Structure 1
């Protein structure tokens, strides 16, 4: 059954290039209207934040940016001039951001600050493949703090992944009535084809003095500024320089000595060596290798307090797993993740040392992205050696749609002689539709789990969704179901697992979930009010036998002022029917199973920043 399902998915993906070829990929409206020429700079640029280098004289100039929020049309109130150019090693960007200087906001000088958009800042969105599926984001705030991210095809707030890290250069300066930015982005930090002479491009300015955001291209502000569907065109007069470095090696060595004073033990030495490598197979296809990694330089997770019945989600931050991470991670939905890379190197909360890993990811063609990964871990006292193999394919079709397939195979070898090995697999396919203007979205997804330790029934996950998102009206309907035996050891399915403190056991319980939402925004043309908004959302969950599990509903009215003050009124109703006793705090008296009811009224107000 596993190979038959795999063959069917492979056949579908194989036919996708033919299907996409039936409809030529149109040039987007914004790329037809907004273009900048990429010219080789006559002289080198010193990145110091002072725009006095002679090289900028030959660069193409963008004289101003446009409103994106709160207004989404017309020239922005404060001008932003941008210049672009390149040499053999770097893509150069500079900007002069006009303001009075009296209300400039810098909330943090930390690198990769997640609240980047709350400070005055300037950023660039680059789509080198120009297929509106993935790209790069580089930004700097008025205090000089850098931030970079990968960009995925999404009209939601999750388009940017700030966990990606790379090396680039920037500096800021100040002149009368403006502040300035210079950026130098190494070509080796980007993935692109030298044959492609048109890249997607946009700029974003955080203008805190006017409580506004600017973009180069004009598009509805119900779409985020980094949306790849509305980029302008970066036109290369000559082929962009090929990546200079085809490989990079990052070795490490660590040593330690330990001693247990209570037991009067002698000092015990220890240590480890390892290697990370990055190999450019093609300009847009990358191979990551790791041997005996320790991930000691990974950022610590932001602390969360869990007051829910289910596990919390923490993002992947290990560099080996980050590049093109959306290829592997963006299957399923926000509650069901068929492959979650943080499960690799972890077993029931216990760290499992990784012996080696190999990961090939990127664009095979302009429309076809692939990802293949294999990771081998060592044995521990509680689990035998584990091998995890993942293959993912994404084929772009039509203007902004795609079909995807995922195969995950995890094999746990016997820990002791006489024991048997154990396998766990997931096979799935997905269709994601986005209209050319981005307003309509539809999704159809189906995955099946194969496990030699669970019954051969209720092993699937399905997902159906349609949504409409315009400037004024928006609505959507979502449904997904998880079988009781949809067990994906390398995935994340928190609602499937229910802890019963009375029996001190965890019980798997599948469910069917349906969400519906809708709302309307209206924008007064005069006065201090920017936007009135009314929206409602409901969620209905059933057990596998169609008995009632949970219902949630809310209704919100919100008013937003032009100076970014605002207030909201929220009515919330919750009706959970606990299938098992539940506790939210360790050693607390459990709540008995049964139906509970909660009603809540919330009033919120905030001043201008």
Structure 2
């Protein structure tokens, strides 16, 4: 621990003296002057307005992926302009004339699509920004960016305009982004900006600035400068009201509930409080249009993490959900409005304030109120987060969480720990100016009725990420009485199969990951990666609990196909009996086993592509043989058909049983245009004894205004086709810019 603290201190001082390639030097080397126009630009992808004849043009993009040492194979030209309402961007992407996309749906993102994108940081602190993407068939995606470099989810929604045109040797894209949608201080005359292009045919990402290969193309630490001769127009007020109405017809045969219909209504609102602070309101929110979870086969002893899909909780989610590390998150938004089994709990209303209150200070506040659902009592959830930027790219942040339960006296007496749950914590996340070195130190504390000890969680870590080498080391200690009712902790609750109960056990862990990357410049290969990972867990008394050591090697080909294999060595000192077959539980004992897995994915750009993986080896005192395969058919730009199959065969010596697990999923996506989409998702899961059909028709009749028709049906897999429940939902929402 002392060594990690020393490293943390040294790295903090290093940032003051390091001379490296970074965003500060980029904004001197890469500058584009924005042209002013008094005539609105017609968004048609043609570029015949007068302003495009005189606006500065930048080109000569750098390769970002698979390498960052050469210029892009195909030329890209970009121009910028503005009037009193819009920021305009014009792209010309030269290529063979054929384009590849995966979908016409909004928020499909940039990966695997021929597209162009805009990265802007209006405050120009390399802390937060915006990402606007349009693919060659004019499907839009947008999101907010943060300095931690996490992947984008495209959950942030705003109204903006674009149009594309396709020619024999190029395609063009024209964007118009309302100033009031992005929020900024009006006196800022230099913005951070970058331009991104994805050319799927050549398997290449390129950027205007020379972003290092080991960082995301949208990393806001490597922007150039957008230079304003005059101060940009004031963004103006940004107030949005999105009312909705729904009608839901349901039938629950499992509970004996007859067919019934229920109308509903509510609204969301977005209000710009200042040039950089926003208020979001929701009353009686409805998420019936959200796609169902993708089911998985769980062969661990613990609960698994399902990602959040509800858009209200995804916007600005990093302010709350980035605390902790992946297996330990104090805030997990799926705790709000969903019970432990994923069933809906009604949310009555909620409010969220997010944004910057100073140049380097970002805040988030959220309050949500749920209603009673059967025996599930009403709850109020409050979250407060403050991020303070220090040095160049480092952050000190703190949070407070509170879950208050409105229990009856009888419920409090029966479950006193359910009365409330509070968490508070502080984290220091260091990053040097170049973004290669990182380190963190965190402390978290939980508060529960009558619990005074073993209720802390802390971690220390260091990371390094360069062109060819990456390293992560994390040390964590989590007390047995650290509760996170608003969060997710993967292994704090241990299932005891002999007593059919959950037992809380705190733990300490050490996680180490090292990888080495080779980036060939010629030939069929574009990347070779070797990775070594070790995860070891100790009980609170420092006795051994579990270890998993793995080595993997992956090879990526220039035609987008991939091959990989991995070898794992596991050792477990089982604390409680567990069964994976429904037979006699495996006894408390020490187990050691090894397994091997091999994977291959073909060129996904072809009309037919496939993926296959197989594994074999030990599993506790038995064996696990697995096979998974998938095939995808695409008919551009309208049709995607995807079929996946997963099989596991677990065999243990008598009397511990054997079982076969099947997971089959099929997804059909038909995009009639960039406004009308039909998606059907079928899942068959024997482990959960559930078969699900989810079919959704969406018509976007106006920007950000939709009509949904959603059908969901659930059956047992055994007995096959025995009905559980079904629902048909009609939803209409309308986006008003006030």
The answer to whether the superposition gives a TM-score over 0.5 is: yes
Report the secondary structure of 2:569's partner residue: strand
Report the secondary structure of 2:273's partner residue: strand
Does 2:134 align with 1:140?
yes
Does 2:182 align with 1:208?
no
C-alpha separation between the residues in 2 aligned to 1:566 and 1:487?
41
How has the CA–CA distance of structure 1 residues 271 and 100 changed in structure 2, closer, same or farther, with 3 Å as cutoff? closer
Does 2:45 align with 1:49?
yes
Q: How does 1:243-262 map to 2 (within 5 A)?
A: 243-255=235-247
- Contact 1:124 / 1:202 at 8 angstroms: preserved in 2? yes
Does 2:395 align with 1:402?
yes
- Contact 1:383 / 1:415 at 8 angstroms: preserved in 2? no
How has the CA–CA distance of structure 1 residues 561 and 247 changed in structure 2, closer, same or farther, with 3 Å as cutoff? closer
Corresponding residue pairs, total? 581
C-alpha separation between the residues in 1 aligned to 2:306 and 2:441?
26
Q: How does 1:462-541 map to 2 (within 5 A)?
A: 462-524=458-520, 527-541=523-537
Does 2:338 align with 1:346?
yes
How has the CA–CA distance of structure 1 residues 347 and 259 changed in structure 2, closer, same or farther, with 3 Å as cutoff? closer
Aligned to 2:179: 187
How has the CA–CA distance of structure 1 residues 305 and 137 changed in structure 2, closer, same or farther, with 3 Å as cutoff? farther
C-alpha separation between the residues in 2 aligned to 1:583 and 1:239?
67
C-alpha separation between the residues in 1 aligned to 2:251 and 2:485?
37
- Contact 1:41 / 1:59 at 8 angstroms: preserved in 2? no
C-alpha separation between the residues in 1 aligned to 2:255 and 2:584?
39
Q: How does 1:410-449 map to 2 (within 5 A)?
A: 410-416=403-409, 419=412, 422-449=419-446
Report the secondary structure of 2:328's partner residue: coil
- Contact 2:155 / 2:315 at 8 angstroms: preserved in 1? no
Does 2:366 align with 1:369?
no
Q: How does 1:11-410 map to 2 (within 5 A)?
A: 28-102=24-98, 104-113=99-108, 116-155=110-149, 158-255=150-247, 270-349=262-341, 350-410=343-403
How has the CA–CA distance of structure 1 residues 573 and 251 changed in structure 2, closer, same or farther, with 3 Å as cutoff? same
C-alpha separation between the residues in 2 aligned to 1:263 and 1:550?
41
C-alpha separation between the residues in 2 aligned to 1:271 and 1:112?
29
Structure 1 residue 231, shift from structure 2 partner = 1.1
After alignment, is 322-331 or 486-495 more displaced? 322-331
Structure 1 residue 556, shift from structure 2 partner = 2.6
Aligned to 1:12: none
Structure 1 residue 583, shift from structure 2 partner = 3.5
How has the CA–CA distance of structure 1 residues 270 and 605 changed in structure 2, closer, same or farther, with 3 Å as cutoff? closer
- Per the normalisation by structure 1, the TM-score is 0.88
Structure 1 residue 435, shift from structure 2 partner = 0.4
Structure 1 residue 441, shift from structure 2 partner = 0.2
- Per the normalisation by structure 2, the TM-score is 0.73
Aligned to 1:602: 597
- Contact 1:511 / 1:541 at 8 angstroms: preserved in 2? yes
- Contact 1:385 / 1:415 at 8 angstroms: preserved in 2? no
How has the CA–CA distance of structure 1 residues 484 and 574 changed in structure 2, closer, same or farther, with 3 Å as cutoff? same
Report the secondary structure of 2:392's partner residue: coil
Let me know the Cα RMSD of the aligned residues: 2.9
C-alpha separation between the residues in 1 aligned to 2:247 and 2:466?
57
Report the secondary structure of 2:191's partner residue: strand
How has the CA–CA distance of structure 1 residues 384 and 550 changed in structure 2, closer, same or farther, with 3 Å as cutoff? same
Structure 1 residue 256, shift from structure 2 partner = 6.0
How has the CA–CA distance of structure 1 residues 451 and 529 changed in structure 2, closer, same or farther, with 3 Å as cutoff? same
C-alpha separation between the residues in 2 aligned to 1:242 and 1:299?
38
- Contact 2:436 / 2:464 at 8 angstroms: preserved in 1? yes
Report the secondary structure of 1:293's partner residue: coil
Structure 1 residue 273, shift from structure 2 partner = 3.4
Partner deviation per Cα, 1:401-433 (whole Å, 9 max, x = no partner): 010000011111223579578121001000000
More strand by share: 2
C-alpha separation between the residues in 1 aligned to 2:58 and 2:255?
71
Report the secondary structure of 2:320's partner residue: helix
- Given candidates 523, 532, 544, the residue that maps to 1:548 is 544
C-alpha separation between the residues in 2 aligned to 1:489 and 1:414?
15
- Given candidates 457, 461, 467, the residue that maps to 2:457 is 461
C-alpha separation between the residues in 1 aligned to 2:526 and 2:257?
70
Unpaired runs of 5+ residues, structure 1, are 1-18
Report the secondary structure of 2:517's partner residue: strand
Structure 1 residue 177, shift from structure 2 partner = 0.8
C-alpha separation between the residues in 2 aligned to 1:340 and 1:259?
30
Structure 1 residue 492, shift from structure 2 partner = 0.9
- Given candidates 548, 554, 557, the residue that maps to 2:553 is 557
C-alpha separation between the residues in 2 aligned to 1:355 and 1:445?
34
- Contact 1:68 / 1:220 at 8 angstroms: preserved in 2? yes
- Contact 1:386 / 1:413 at 8 angstroms: preserved in 2? yes
Report the secondary structure of 1:57's partner residue: helix
- Contact 1:406 / 1:428 at 8 angstroms: preserved in 2? yes
How has the CA–CA distance of structure 1 residues 511 and 38 changed in structure 2, closer, same or farther, with 3 Å as cutoff? same
How has the CA–CA distance of structure 1 residues 96 and 310 changed in structure 2, closer, same or farther, with 3 Å as cutoff? same
Partner deviation per Cα, 1:537-593 (whole Å, 9 max, x = no partner): 1111111122222111122334444444554443221223332222446x4554333
- Contact 2:67 / 2:521 at 8 angstroms: preserved in 1? no
- Contact 1:502 / 1:590 at 8 angstroms: preserved in 2? yes
- Contact 2:84 / 2:233 at 8 angstroms: preserved in 1? yes
Report the secondary structure of 1:495's partner residue: coil
Report the secondary structure of 2:491's partner residue: helix
How has the CA–CA distance of structure 1 residues 109 and 576 changed in structure 2, closer, same or farther, with 3 Å as cutoff? farther
Report the secondary structure of 2:488's partner residue: coil
